[in-house]
Amino acid sequence: MVLVEPEGPINVGMVARTLKNMGFRELMLVNPKCPPLHPYALVMAPGAKDLLSEAKVLGDLREAIRDSALVVGTTRRRRKGKELIPLRAASQQILQLARGGQKVSILFGREDTGLTNRELSLCHLLVTIPTDPTHGSLNLSQAVAVVLYELRTSAQGEEMPRAKGLAPWGELEGLFEHLQEVLLKIGFLDPNNPRAGLEDLKGILMRARLDSREVRLLRGVLRRITWAIERVSKGEELW
């Protein structure tokens, strides 16, 4: 469970308590506006002090998700190129991976503005809690409670097939950097605004849920493109 820039110690404490209630342990805080052991947080987290003490505080969201095979963003906003899946349907996908022993990160944004578009672009999956369209914005700790309840309850349901092992986020990041480099080289991306076209391609690859072998395969294609261009530029034939 990753809280991105939470402001209120009361919320952080309530989230810790909820994790404990639902049998989860790992809490990460990215740039929190209050220390995890703030007195108000402790008051709201009876019995969950250990969880607050062990909470990891990080300066960059990318560090938090580096080892994750699946990054799930919670949001009410639809984003181009990505499906927004209701929590109950998404929990099946999340549990399949978790059952396979893979790490899943679930991101919750700021109390007032949620996750930024840039943060949402790091997610494989965007999940929403169905609420009233006119008054839909849940309190942070209640959103966490609902998500954990759903995961816990769905996990106790029927046995599901195990998902295949997905590539950790760090490998995907390496692939995306490599892709950007090659696309800049061949002039597909605008060097002044490389993100414009790249985001769509990243969206496609994240939807495909790549495993490590497939990441290597795609990087093999990228290396071969670079190789072909260099060879031709020396006046050599490709064959």
Q: Which is nearer to a copy of itself, 57 or 232 (CB)?
A: 232
The letter for the amino acid at 145 is A
Q: Which is nearer to a copy of itself, 173 or 214 (CB)?
A: 214
Q: Which is nearer to a copy of itself, 101 or 135 (CB)?
A: 135
Taking alpha carbons only, the member of 26, 72, 62 closest to residue 170 is 62
Alpha-carbon gap, residue 138 to 233, rounded angstroms: 58
Query: What is the smallest separation between the CB atom of 5 and a copy of itself, expressed in angstroms?
Result: 20
Specify the 3-state DSSP secondary structure of 155. helix
Strand order in the sheet with 125-128: 56-58, 28-30, 2-4, 104-108, 70-74, 125-128, 84-86
Taking a C-beta distance cutoff of 8 angstroms, is the pair 118, 52 a contact?
A: no
Query: What is the smallest separation between the CB atom of 31 and a copy of itself, expressed in angstroms?
Result: 24
Q: Which is nearer to a copy of itself, 118 or 164 (CB)?
A: 164
Query: What is the smallest separation between the CB atom of 11 and a copy of itself, expressed in angstroms?
Result: 11
Residue 102 DSSP class: -
Separation in Å, CA 70 to CA 4, 208, 210, 211:
17, 12, 10, 11
Residue numbers at the binding site for a copy of itself (CB under 8 A): 14, 17-18, 20-23, 44, 47-48, 83-89, 129-132, 135-139, 141-142, 145-146, 149-150, 152-153, 156, 158-161, 164, 183, 185-188, 197, 200-201, 204-205, 207-210, 214, 217-218, 220-221, 224-225, 227-229, 232-233, 235, 238-239
Q: Which is nearer to a copy of itself, 58 or 183 (CB)?
A: 183
Query: What is the smallest separation between the CB atom of 162 and a copy of itself, expressed in angstroms?
Result: 9
Q: Which is nearer to a copy of itself, 2 or 175 (CB)?
A: 175
Alpha-carbon gap, residue 5 to 64, rounded angstroms: 13
Taking a C-beta distance cutoff of 8 angstroms, is the pair 13, 42 a contact?
A: yes
Q: Which two tokens stand for residue 133?
A: 């369209």
Q: Which residues, listed in sequence order, are joined to residue 74 by a DSSP beta bridge?
A: 127
Query: What is the smallest separation between the CB atom of 166 and a copy of itself, expressed in angstroms?
Result: 12
Query: What is the smallest separation between the CB atom of 37 and a copy of itself, expressed in angstroms?
Result: 18
